[in-house]
Structure formats: C-alpha cells, structure tokens
Amino acid sequence: MALNYSKKTLHNFRYPKNIGRLTRPDGYAQIGNPICGDQLDFFLKVEKRRIKDVKFLSFGCASNIATASVLTEKIKGLSLAAAKKYPWQKIVAELGGLPQQKIHCSIMAIQGLRRAIADYEAREGEKKVAGRGKKKKAMAKRKAKLKTGRKK
C-alpha cells in the first residue's frame, strides 16, 4: 500500500490554517494521544451560538494536520448546530481524497471538534446553573428533607 497524499493535503500540511492556541477559549477538547500516533487539541471562541474563532494544535502525521486545517477553515462562522453536523466525507472530498489508511484522521478531527463544542455547551450549562444557584440550592434542600422524611 503506497501512501499517496494529494497536493492539497500536502499543501495544508505544509501551510496549515488556524494552527496555534486561543487563550481563554469558550470551548476546548483534546482527542487521541501520542501512543496511538496522533493527537489534536481544539480551541473555540463562540459568539451568539456561532463559531467566532477556532484554532488547533497537532501531534500527528500530514493528514492529521491537513484535515484539521481544512475543517477549521470550513466551520469558522458556522452555527454550532451546523458545525456539529459537518461530515468527515466533506473534509476528504475537500482534500481531493485521502489514502485509505488515513481516512480515520478526518473522522478524528470531526470528533475532536464535536467534543470542543460539547465542552462549550457544558460550560454554558454550568453558567446557567451558577446563575440559578440560590434557587437550586433551596430546591435541593427541600428535596433532601422530603427524602429523609420519607425514610423515617
């Protein structure tokens, strides 16, 4: 099996877009690890449920870097809902195809991005919870009382 990368993949590997970190990201996720041979870290800035900015770090092969580069370009400006649905097949098509044994790179990039969005959403959820903190605490107390009351 030869490893033939398209020109576009090699170009995106050599000159990746959106590479680097974002300080104080709204969403962050890490996927993969050096033992498996590839890792991606995604950083998101979100505004009005749209991806305002996105950056990534990579420990990985040429296709790992190239797929993340293309993906970040394509999803910048998209709504979170649309970004979550972005399919790996589109990345592969955008790069003019990937070698069979490298298809997993595109899937990994998508999964990493979704995790970063999920991280953002979890943080938002926590903020809301924090905002309603007093109300919730009171509720929890009442519930606990009820429970212990029943037990007795």
> Which positions are catalytic?
36, 105
Q: How far apart (Å, rounded) are the C-alpha atoms in residues 127 and 43?
A: 19
Q: How far is the CB of 36 from other proteins (least distance, A)?
A: 8
Count residues near other proteins (CB under 8 A): 29
Closest CA to 27 of 144, 116, 111: 116
Ramachandran angles phi, psi of 140, nearest 5°: -60, -40
Q: Which stretch binds other proteins (CB under 8 A): 2-10, 89-97, 117-125, 128-136?
A: 2-10
Q: How far apart are the first and last CA of the chain?
A: 70
Strand, helix or coil at 20? coil
Q: Of 31, 32, 4, 7, which Cα lies nearest the Cα of 94? A: 7
Is 149 one of the binding residues for other proteins (CB under 8 A)? no
Choose which of 6, 17, 19, 90 interacts with other proteins (CB under 8 A).
Answer: 19
What part of residues 42-71 is at the interface with other proteins (CB under 8 A)? Answer: 56-62, 64-65
Sign of CA dihedral 9, 13, 15, 20: positive
Task: Give the nearest distance from C-beta 1 to other proteins in angstroms.
Answer: 4
Residues 99 to 128 in contact with other proteins, rule: CB under 8 A: 101
Q: Is 30 in the site for other proteins (CB under 8 A)?
A: yes
By CB under 8 A, name the one of 6, 10, 45, 78 that touches other proteins.
Answer: 10
